[in-house]
Amino acid sequence: MSNQHIFLDNNSTTLIDPRVLDAMLPYMQHQYGNATSRHLFGRAARQALDQAREQVAEACGAHPSQVIFTASGTEANNFAISGMAGNNENIKQIAVSAIEHPAVTRPAFALRGNGYRVAVIAADHFGKVDPLSLDVALEKPTSLVSVMLANNETGVIQDIAALAEMAKAKGALFHTDAVQALGKIPLDFESLGVHAMTVSSHKVNGPQGAGALILDKRVDIKPLLHGGGQEKGLRSGTENVAAIVGFGAACALIKNALEARATLTRQLRDGLNIGLQNLGATVFGDKAARLANTSFFAFNEIEGETLVMALDRKGFAVASGSACSSDSTEPSHVLMAMGVSPDLARGAVRVSFGANNTSDELNRFLAALQSEVQRLRQLTAVAV
Ligand code: PLP
């Protein structure tokens, strides 16, 4: 990959901050203890884990004892869904929103094999989850509701505290996937009032391979993995100390960086949106409160996949639909839930800015976008 290539896909993953890498390196070299060992090496690893737990807890507005480390956001979501819903054998309904990441919907649908019913909570045209639809779902006894805090495609932010309140009033547990929210908006587990919340390291300039479920200790949850009893017996397996240390270090940087990062990415995103308007694009979710760094848009007559490849050839990395499902040609399920026509949805492209992007990069991107859109429009016009 050339140094000239410009990364505008920061909702898929992010560059490791050099300070994070520095914090990790000793645990990949001489400090290689197993955190369960009693000797000096093990104790050093345990201490490093304890510190990371405090750092992650602080960034999430939680207590360190509420942090259960996992290997990814996907794993934490699976843990929450199967562990919390699957624990109440008498209540056989769970509810998930129509715009969830597959790391929530797939484990939810997998529970059907155990006799569960999955209620899908609708979203509106703006990308917001519909409280009335949740209300209808809650008419049936429901063990767990899962609604994400910020959507990975549109960036739209949900009113989690209000939705969690509704669910709790009916005796349901509430989980939120906050993978895209951490580092981009202030996050406070306590004031959200949820029982469980998922976060992931590599979305916040930490390493890939670490995540966490923040869990209210009063919740009865089934262990995800059985074995040596790590993570309070809920997620056995030797901890990935270096990755978790990196996750902690990345979380420790959030507090001071959050505002500046939001300001920078909002400026870039707003600049992009002016360019998009001039080119006649439709921008999805732009009427709702959304993450400052994200723009999800489409041009009527251009396939998203084609535009992504054309921009890649010009040196720009952007995503079509959701990066996590980029092997699929189906239109984005998020846009389908928002009532966007499948034809327009097939044109969807996502740009997500990060801490390292600059206005010079934006200007170069806008120039490339304009020329590629014009070229592809001409090709489409000739083909018709
Ligand atoms: N949830 C959301 C909203 C995401 O955007 C992603 C990744 O893109 C995940 C979960 C999965 O997290 P991880 O990549 O750490 O497995």
Q: Which amino acid is at 301?
A: E
Residues 6 or more apart whose Cβ sits within 8 Å of residue 100: 108, 146, 147, 148, 177
- Profile the chain (384 residues) by mean pLDDT over runs of 10 residues: 84 98 97 95 97 98 98 98 85 96 97 94 98 98 97 98 98 97 98 98 98 96 96 97 98 96 98 97 97 97 96 97 58 97 96 97 98 93 65
| Cβ of 243 below 6 Å from ligand 1 | no
Q: What is the pLDDT of residue 330?
A: 87
Give CA–CA dist 145/81, Å, rounded.
Answer: 9
Structure tokens at 226: 């059985």
Q: What pLDDT is recorded for position 384?
A: 54
Query: Could you identify the atom of ligand 1 that is nearest to the CA of residue 208?
Result: 15
pLDDT attached to residue 379: 86
Amino acid at site 17? D
Q: pLDDT at position 327, please?
A: 56
pLDDT of residue 16: 97
List the residue whose alpha carbon is closest to atom 12 of ligand 1: 73
pLDDT confidence of residue 323: 43
Annotated active-site residue in 25, 118, 279, 324:
324
Q: Residue 324 catalytic?
A: yes
Atom number in ligand 1 closest to CA 12: 8
Q: What pLDDT, on a 0 to 100 scale, did the predictor assign at position 89?
A: 76
Question: Cβ(55) to ligand 1 under 6 A?
Answer: no
Beta-strand ranges (E) seen in the chain are 6-7, 67-70, 93-97, 117-121, 144-146, 173-177, 196-200, 211-215, 282-283, 294-298, 316-317, 319-320, 349-352
Q: Check if 372 has its Cβ closer than 6 Å to any atom of ligand 1.
A: no
Q: Would you state the pLDDT for residue 324?
A: 46
Choose the residue to mutate in 151, 158, 324 for probing ligand 1, maximizing ligand atoms within 8 Å of C-beta.
Answer: 324
- In angstroms, rounded to a whole number, what is the distance separating the alpha carbons of residues 98 and 309? 28
How far, in Å, from the CA of 119 to the mean position of ligand 1?
22
Task: Give how far the C-alpha of residue 84 lies from the chain's centroid of Cα atoms, to the nearest Å.
Answer: 20
Instruction: List 199's β-bridge partners, or say none.
Output: 212
200 lines ligand 1 (CB under 6 A): yes
Q: Is the CB of 177 under 6 A from ligand 1?
A: yes
